[in-house]
Amino acid sequence: MMNNSQLPGLYVHVPFCGSKCPYCDFYSVTPRSQMGQWMAALEGEISLYKDRFPVFDSLYVGGGTPSLLDEQTLTSLIKGIFHGFAISPDAEVTMECNPDDVTPGKAVLFRSLGVNRISLGVQSLDDKELGFLQRRHSASQAERALACLQRAGFDNVGIDLIYGLPGQIQSDWCETLDRALEFEPAHLSCYELTISAGTPFARMRDEGVFAPLEEEEGRALFLATAQYLADRGYIHYEVSNFAKEKKFMCHHNRKYWKRTPYLGLGPSAHSFAHGERWWNVRSVSQYCEHIFKGRSPVEGSEKLSQDQASLESLALGFRTKEGLDETLFQNRPQAHKIITELCESGLVSREDGRILPTPKGFLVADSLPLLFY
């Protein structure tokens, strides 16, 4: 797999979920009645972009919950994509799955459709925590799903986990991590619980139903996670992402951070190519309506100025282990002094002409770019 390729990635958004998780702010709807329409519209959108992208070397079917699609829909979706676009033979093909959807039959189906990577939404391996997160599965269900995927021959399974739940202490979190590590996953995404505006969790927090962790507690958990997984050989290649080996770093997601082009299909999907960003309407019905009436489902777009592009490079670069090329700072006032100070305070290190964030640096990744303005 060409890990540093500049070939674009393809994302397909499946905007359906069995139920809405109270922390999630991605776009999805629960009724499945619009599924048929959406599939038809997606085919329409695929043809809109036909021949605009020569070849993709990653495909990521995300959502929402792609795994809840029935066999037939899933088959025609994947086949439709492969039919509509050139996907390189060694492409990384990821499918997001919920543990409660994984059955031996489905696992075999995924493989037969060309899926070679699974991102499994485990979130926790503690039933109480899963209850708090209002997940539809239990810890043992998640473990069965992992075993099932491995039996089906998937060697590249990523486990998604959430930590920093109200009242969670390090030993609780390490228990979940330990149980996940028993499966020797190729990839781990460990997200600190983020309470986004407009989500049910935000309302609950505001009403005092629970109190989020203190900043220092979250910080300690983040650093403990980084250390714990580093000790077990995992590569901390992005703020929240860990890979067992280099080849298991998520090829598709890295395109977002490296500003490699990508095309996003489906409601609310974002795209980036030729210095331009655009995004689709955040509504299944509007998305379908636009496409059926022969219109573009694009809701907005922006052409990036050079300043905007370089701000993005900084913001994204500080999120990844590869960091940033020192030449990017050449024309910034006082950059040398600031970088030296950051090195001294252990937030970044300098290696081979690159500025690399440390785990402590990851913790302040959002404010590092602003230092250079």
Partner 1 sequence: MSQIRNFSIIAHIDHGKSTLADRLIQHAGLVTEREFRDQILDTMDLERERGITIKSQTITLPYTDKKGETFSFNLIDTPGHVDFSYEVSRALASCEGVLLLVDASQGVQAQTLANLYMAMEHDLEVIPVINKIDLPSADIERAREQIETELGLDGEAAILCSAKEGAGIEDVLEAIVEHIPPPAGQTDAPLSALIFDANYDPFRGTVVSCRVFNGSLQPGDLIRFMSNGAVYKVEEVGVFRIQREQRPSLSAGEVGYIISGIKTVSDTSMGDTITLDTDPAPAPLPGFREVKSVVFSSIYPIASDDYQDLADALEKYKLNDAALTYQKDTSSALGQGFRCGFLGLLHLEIVQQRLEREYGQTFIMTVPSVQYRFTLQNGDTVTVDNPQYYPDPVLITGSAEPYIRANILIPERYMGAVMNLCMERRGMNSQFTYPTPGRIEISLEMPLAEVIVDFYDKLKTVTQGYGSLDYDLIDYRESDLVKLDILVNGERVDALSLIVHKDRAREWGVKACDRLKKEIPRHQFKIAIQGAIGGKIISRSTVAAFRKDVTAKCYGGDITRKRKLLEKQKKGKKRMKMVGSVMIPQKAFVAVLKSDDE
Binding residue for partner 1, selected from 277, 321, 350, 354, defined by CB under 8 A: 277
Using the rule CB under 8 A, is 26 a contact of partner 1? yes
Q: Residue 278 region, left (φ>0) first, then alpha (ψ -120 to 50), else beta? A: beta
State the alpha helices, DSSP H only, in the chain: 35-48, 71-84, 104-112, 127-132, 139-151, 170-181, 200-206, 215-231, 251-258, 284-292, 306-317, 335-344, 359-363
Using the rule CB under 8 A, is 95 a contact of partner 1? no
Q: Buried (b) or exposed (e) across 210-249, using 16+ Cβ within 10 A?
A: eeebeeeebbebbebbbebbeeeebbbbbbbbbbbeeebb
Nearer to partner 1, 144 or 217 (CB): 217
Who's near 171: CB < 8 A, 6+ residues apart?
A: none
Stretch that binds partner 1, among 76-84, 100-108, 286-294, 338-346 (CB under 8 A): 338-346
Of the candidates 77, 23, 1, the residue with the CA atom closest to the CA atom of residue 255 = 1
Binding residue for partner 1, selected from 49, 82, 183, 256, defined by CB under 8 A: 256
Using the rule CB under 8 A, is 364 a contact of partner 1? yes
Binding residue for partner 1, selected from 272, 324, 339, 355, defined by CB under 8 A: 272
CB distance 16 to 68 below 8 Å = yes
Q: Which helix (H) or strand (E) holds 241?
A: strand 241-243
Binders of partner 1 in range 186-245 (CB under 8 A): 191-194, 215-216, 218-219, 222, 239-240
Q: How far apart are CA 131 and CA 81, in angstroms?
A: 36
Who's near 259: CB < 8 A, 6+ residues apart?
A: 272, 309, 312, 313, 316
Stretch that binds partner 1, among 79-87, 137-145, 291-299, 340-348 (CB under 8 A): 340-348
Using the rule CB under 8 A, is 14 a contact of partner 1? no
Stretch that binds partner 1, among 87-95, 124-132, 199-207, 255-263 (CB under 8 A): 255-263
Is 354 in a helix, a strand, or coil? strand
Q: Amino acid identity, residue 220?
A: A
Nearer to partner 1, 46 or 342 (CB): 342
Stretch that binds partner 1, among 48-56, 138-146, 148-156, 262-270 (CB under 8 A): 262-270
Minimum separation from the CB atom of position 11 to partner 1 (A): 6
Nearer to partner 1, 145 or 342 (CB): 342
Six token digits for residue 171: 């030993």
A 10 A CB-CB count for 52 gives 10
Minimum separation from the CB atom of position 104 to partner 1 (A): 29
Nearer to partner 1, 113 or 250 (CB): 250
Could you list the residues that contact partner 1 (CB under 8 A)? 11, 26, 62, 191-194, 215-216, 218-219, 222, 239-240, 253, 256-257, 262, 264, 269-272, 277, 279, 302, 308, 311-312, 315-316, 319, 334, 337-338, 341-342, 345, 347, 362-371, 373
